[in-house]
Amino acid sequence: MLYFGVDYYPEHWPESRWETDARMMQEAGINVVRLAEFAWALLEPEDGRFDFEWLDRAINVLARRQIKIVLGTPSATPPPWLWQKIPDSALVDENGTPREYGSRREYSPTHSDYRAHAVRIARAMAQHYAANSQVIGWQIDNEFGDRCYAPGTRLAFQNWLKERYGSLETLNECWGTRFWSHIYTDWAQIPVPVKRVHAQHNPSLHLDYYRFMSEVYVEFQQLQVDALREICPPEQFITHNFMGFGYPRINYFDLAKSLDLVTWDNYPRGFWVTTQDIAPAPIALGHVTMRSLKKQNFWVMEQQSGQGSWETLPPMTRPGEIALWAYQAIAHGADGIVFFRWRTCRFGVEQYWHGVLDHDGQGRRRYVEVKQMGQEIARAGTLIAGSEVRAEVAIMLSYDSRFAFEIQPNNPDFSYERHLTDYYTALHQANIPVDVVAPDDVLNGYKLVIVPALYITEMETVQHLTTFVERGGTLIVTARSGVKDHTNIVVNHVLPGLLAPLCGVEVQEYDSPLSGEKRALKFIADDFAGQGKAAVWCDILKPTTARVLAEYAEDFYAGQPAVTLNSVGSGVVIYSGTMGDATFVESIVEYARQHTDVQSLLETPPQVEVTARWRGDQRLLFILNHADVTHEIKIEDGYIDLLSGQEQENILKLQPKQVMILQVT
Ligand code: GLA
């Protein structure tokens, strides 16, 4: 079943309205709602006194309309009485400032009393709703993430280090603490990397702290997972709402492990977006990453419906965008779409975070759009749900490297996220399905693997990559890979470190261009029609076993190798010594494809996205026109469009923002 829902806050509206809401939802094809993830103060109005009656009544109203429920545990919003009871439970930020009460996410995730209260409310909810067949799942907390530097967190960090390193001698050795006289003789001396230091903290301490904070949320989540699992039947799934590819502070592969389902919050036109044109590739990368965390279909638990903001408003979602973005999620493997939020709230911080309905409860353009999609989903949903995306290309996402680059970006223009997005975009433009893989993944089944800037490189990854290439795979490795070991210390090898033998190159020297500077490249290999320029980083290479594909054509390293190709076993490794501009990245990806038989699903103009979902050998082709103009696309087979029910032959004509889901006739 394909779930089609809304995030609903019945507690924000008079009970007399609930029936109208439920009816309008049903008429729009809504079959699931998420409830209660911020309702702690109503669910537990006083310490230890629980009140589920109002929620029961809301659920009953929805149940009569065949609407299923996902319940959120409310630990993101502590009620005032709890804050008063444990005033030292505040999260302390990197400037050393404790959060004041008055918004949400004020808590320190290491605070033992806070944890106990969070588990207690989760447990009470579970006891009340485990037997309720309307409830199909649980969301734990809401968008985990901020790092905490409170005294209790510091103590927890010290204990975490003790477990990890065993002795201070080992820790001192691994971190290189003799630098600037940091040799620790007592665990209690070890700081957390608050900003109030003269320069920077030791990068090894800093990375360990980032890893630790990521694990703190995994652990905090686990406490609630355990409480729910103990009480609830296995049919009720447990999830958390992630923040997509863009969120850098938690190792999402770890966070996903003990969950049944990954869900995430997708806001393509949030207040932070400064352009009218919303590029489809970064949104798609969010979906791809979320699908890849557990290598299974996912949900969008908050899909933008109206314009989103707190203080100043960005442009309203354009006609067609709501359905387009929701279908895009489905196209990449979503089996559930939940729109944020049902009705725009009249009070509180999110007064201007627009939902499907307006403040006055009327359903206008956005409601009509959702309703139309609901009707389409009612027809096509069962054919789509459970079908899978299949990819032959993978991009490696290393949270260790991402954390380490956050500490030391290497070049002012370098962004790990952007670098990875550039590679993804090149594949996306060619309509090639992609998975995101973790550094410890075995790479069976892929034909092309891209390893962008794997700054922290572990031997296990090198082994997997080597096996992959020896068996015929094509690998792209880019600059700043293999630079650091696990403890964030620069390796004692010629770069790219552990990857040097596989890449067949040695880095002789490197240059870090000034912001915005580019260097011309000369593409010297007959088989490589390269384009674009070097940018952000320039490794000056010396091939050992590789051959040169491109040289620098400028600066003191003009004539020196920039890009190489190494043959290993039945496969090849392309090493790019530069991040390069977008054109360069496209041509590297294009060149890599020449070594594989990875096919585009369909050649389309820019802004027309194509994906496929499979069930056995049955394929559904999703065609999404993100453009504001009509596009015509040539097709070979005859299809039926599941959304319109119309047959399509020879030429597809897609109106602006139109989506088709094609099945071969
Ligand atoms: C996030 C949160 C929601 C809401 C929206 C809009 O994704 O999970 O509770 O705040 O953003 O701001």
* 16: Cβ contacts below 8 Å, ≥ 6 apart: none
109 CA to centre of ligand 1 in angstroms = 19
At 274, the pLDDT band (50, 70, 90 cuts) reads confident
CA 65 to chain centre: 33
Torsion angle in degrees (nearest 10) through CA of 268, 585, 571, 446: 10
pLDDT for 541 equals 98
Mutation probe of ligand 1 site: the residue of 265, 269, 305, 313 with most atoms within 8 A of C-beta: 265
Please work out whether the CB of residue 308 comes within 6 Å of at least one atom of ligand 1: yes
Q: Is 173 noted as a catalytic residue in this protein? A: no
| CB neighbourhood size of 124 (10 A) | 18
Of residues 37, 106, 143, 609, which has the active-site annotation? 143
Please work out whether the CB of residue 143 comes within 6 Å of at least one atom of ligand 1: yes
Mutation probe of ligand 1 site: the residue of 243, 271, 307, 350 with most atoms within 8 A of C-beta: 350
Average pLDDT over residues 6-34: 98
pLDDT for 308 equals 87
pLDDT at 665 exceeding the cut of 90? no
At 150, the pLDDT band (50, 70, 90 cuts) reads very high
Average pLDDT over residues 550-579: 98
90 CA to centre of ligand 1 in angstroms = 21
Q: Which sign does the torsion angle of CA 33, 39, 40, 45 carry?
A: negative
pLDDT for 105 equals 95
112 CA to centre of ligand 1 in angstroms = 26
- Written as six digits, the tokens of 560 are 């020196």
Q: Among residues 573, 548, 551, which one has the least CA distance to residue 451?
A: 573
Q: Among residues 273, 285, 218, 651, which one has the least CA distance to residue 432?
A: 285
pTM passes above 0.95: yes
- The residue contributing the CA closest to ligand 1 atom 7 is 265
At 637, the pLDDT band (50, 70, 90 cuts) reads confident
Three-state DSSP at 412 gives coil
348 CA to centre of ligand 1 in angstroms = 13
Query: What does residue 454 show for φ and ψ, rounded to 5 degrees?
Result: -80, 80
272 CA to centre of ligand 1 in angstroms = 13
Please work out whether the CB of residue 263 comes within 6 Å of at least one atom of ligand 1: no
Average pLDDT over residues 405-409: 98
Percentage, residues of the chain above pLDDT 90: 97
* 87: Cβ contacts below 8 Å, ≥ 6 apart: none
Please work out whether the CB of residue 355 comes within 6 Å of at least one atom of ligand 1: no
9 CA to centre of ligand 1 in angstroms = 13
Please work out whether the CB of residue 350 comes within 6 Å of at least one atom of ligand 1: yes
Please work out whether the CB of residue 400 comes within 6 Å of at least one atom of ligand 1: no
Of residues 302, 321, 551, 586, which has the active-site annotation? 302
Q: Is 517 noted as a catalytic residue in this protein? A: no
Query: What does residue 522 show for φ and ψ, rounded to 5 degrees?
Result: -120, 120
pLDDT at 273 exceeding the cut of 90? no
pLDDT at 270 exceeding the cut of 90? no
Sequence-separated contacts (24+) of 617-622 with Cβ below 8 Å: 618/387, 618/663, 619/663, 619/664, 620/383, 620/384, 620/387, 620/661, 620/662, 620/663, 621/661, 621/662, 621/663, 622/327, 622/330, 622/331, 622/659, 622/660, 622/661, 622/662
User: What value does the mean pLDDT of the chain take?
Assistant: 97
Please work out whether the CB of residue 244 comes within 6 Å of at least one atom of ligand 1: no
| Lowest-confidence pick of 28-32, 163-167, 645-649 | 645-649
Please work out whether the CB of residue 270 comes within 6 Å of at least one atom of ligand 1: no
pLDDT digits (tens, 9 = 90+) for 291-331: 999 999 999 999 999 998 889 998 999 999 999 999 999 99
| CB neighbourhood size of 201 (10 A) | 17
pLDDT for 272 equals 82
pLDDT for 289 equals 99
Rg (C-alpha) for the chain, rounded Å, is 26
pLDDT at 529 exceeding the cut of 90? yes
pLDDT digits (tens, 9 = 90+) for 340-365: 999 999 999 999 999 999 999 999 99
pLDDT at 163 exceeding the cut of 90? yes
Average pLDDT over residues 448-464: 98
pLDDT digits (tens, 9 = 90+) for 464-498: 999 999 999 999 999 999 999 999 999 999 999 99
Mutation probe of ligand 1 site: the residue of 77, 105, 139, 143 with most atoms within 8 A of C-beta: 143
Asked if 138 and 239 count as a contact pair (C-beta separation under 8 A), the reply is: yes
pLDDT digits (tens, 9 = 90+) for 26-38: 999 999 999 999 9
- The residue contributing the CA closest to ligand 1 atom 11 is 265
pLDDT at 594 exceeding the cut of 90? yes
pLDDT for 468 equals 98
Q: Please state, in angstroms and rounded to a whole number, the distance separating the CA atoms of residues 412 and 82.
A: 43
pLDDT for 101 equals 96
Q: Which residues pair with 413 in a beta bridge?
A: none
Query: What does residue 335 show for φ and ψ, rounded to 5 degrees?
Result: -110, 5
Q: Which residues pair with 664 in a beta bridge?
A: 639
